Amino acid sequence: MAKLKLALYWAATCGGCEVAVLDLNEKILDVAAAADIYLWPVAMDYKYKDAEAWPDKFIDVCLFNGAIRNSEGEHLAKLLRAKSKVMVAFGSCACFGGIPGLANVADREGVFARVYGETPSTDNRDGTRPQTSFAVPEGELTLPHFYDTVKTLGQTVPVDYFLPGCPPAAKQIWAVVQAIVAGQLPPPGSFVGVAEKSVCEECPRVKEEKKVTAFLRPHQVIPQPEKCLLEQGLVCCGPATRGGCGAQCINANMPCRGCYGPTERVTDQGAKMLSAIASIIDASDEAGVKKVVDQIVDPLGTFYRFGLPNSLLTRVRV
């Protein structure tokens, strides 16, 4: 059997997804035995012009991580979509926008103003900003166009499979790699490397009646290790989040922040989390409810931590 042709690419990302692949440890050798990697910028040398020269559908499987932040990311998404038989949105940035998607609280001008002007460590008296085209004595230099809004991979090109997580758990990656090699992938459009139910189903903590009278911040409480974090007043996104991670954060006594995205039947993860919060508040009147809700410091950055571009909101109006 001919070896699989694999491509791994990153757009707006941190590289943690690449390291998650390396977390396969010695199994990476099995990947190398079954597949030839044609593109992987973090680990191998290649140039964009090499990828442009491939015939269409040359690559069997492309694992694409990162959100689409600028015109370069969009170009590579479209290029690799054309060159790949199977396109996998790999990791939460590609699936939902991820942490870079939080930039949808601002537009291009808002990001540039802060980054190139206002931060205390910035000394930019000339107000220099990135230019898409810049004339130097030797010729013209170009940079990608920075968009106002971060998009997911699926909002940019058709995606065959979604493998979420920040990063995806190594054992889930391995299961998907095995399915790819065996030709046993589910129908296109599916999420892979995930559990069917929510993080709460994977969470080993004892869950009793949820009646929350106050939401607490970490300096206000040392969480009991065996009791549901939500019941202790710590905002935990487990009820709104798809399992598959093995409840890693919760097992470290940290509440879930939702990196595996919404569960199968949920469209908007933050709305689902609002619904979960609304159902557990123990207050007798509207003023009492408001008092409890106001203790949630940053609803947007908590409930949409990994998925603002993928939400019904997609972004904050500015």
Partner 1 sequence: MQRVTIDPITRLEGHGKIEIFLDEAGEVANAYFQVPELRGFERFCEGRPVEELPRITPRICGV
Interacting residue ranges for partner 1, rule: CB under 8 A: 12-19, 41-49, 69-70, 72, 98-100, 102-103, 105-106, 110-111, 114-115, 119, 130, 136-139, 141, 143-144, 146, 166-167, 217-219, 254, 257, 297-298, 301-302, 305
Q: How far is the CB of 50 from partner 1 (least distance, A)?
A: 11
Cα gap 234→317, rounded to integer Å: 29
Q: How far is the CB of 17 from partner 1 (least distance, A)?
A: 7
Cα gap 217→220, rounded to integer Å: 5
Rounded to 5°, angle at Cα 183 from 53 and 160: 60
Q: How far is the CB of 184 from partner 1 (least distance, A)?
A: 29
Residue 111 or 170 with smaller CB distance to partner 1: 111
Query: Please, are residues 22 and 49 in contact by the beta-carbon 8 Å criterion?
Result: no
Residue 16 or 154 with smaller CB distance to partner 1: 16
Cα gap 269→241, rounded to integer Å: 7
Q: How far is the CB of 66 from partner 1 (least distance, A)?
A: 10
Cα gap 40→18, rounded to integer Å: 9
Residue 127 or 137 with smaller CB distance to partner 1: 137
First to last CA, the chain: 54
User: Which amino acid type is present at position 204?
Assistant: P
Cα gap 2→296, rounded to integer Å: 54
DSSP character at residue 44: S
Sheet of strand 84-90, all strands in order from the earlier edge strand to the far edge: 35-39, 4-10, 59-65, 84-90, 161-163, 190-191
Residue 13 or 269 with smaller CB distance to partner 1: 13
Q: How far is the CB of 6 from partner 1 (least distance, A)?
A: 16
Helix, strand, coil tally for the chain in percent (to 5)? 35, 20, 45
Cα gap 30→286, rounded to integer Å: 59
Residue 139 or 187 with smaller CB distance to partner 1: 139
- b/e map 58-95, b = 16+ CB within 10 Å: ebbbbbbbbbbbbebbbebbebbbbbbebbbbbbbbbb
Q: How far is the CB of 224 from partner 1 (least distance, A)?
A: 18
Q: How far is the CB of 38 from partner 1 (least distance, A)?
A: 13
Residue 115 or 214 with smaller CB distance to partner 1: 115
Residue 155 or 295 with smaller CB distance to partner 1: 295
Q: How far is the CB of 215 from partner 1 (least distance, A)?
A: 12
Q: How far is the CB of 102 from partner 1 (least distance, A)?
A: 4
Query: Please, are residues 71 and 147 in contact by the beta-carbon 8 Å criterion?
Result: yes
Residue 50 or 196 with smaller CB distance to partner 1: 50
Residue 68 or 176 with smaller CB distance to partner 1: 68
The pair of three-digit structure tokens given for residue 203, joined into one six-digit string: 């969470």
Residue whose pair of structure tokens reads 């509207």 in the numeric block: 286
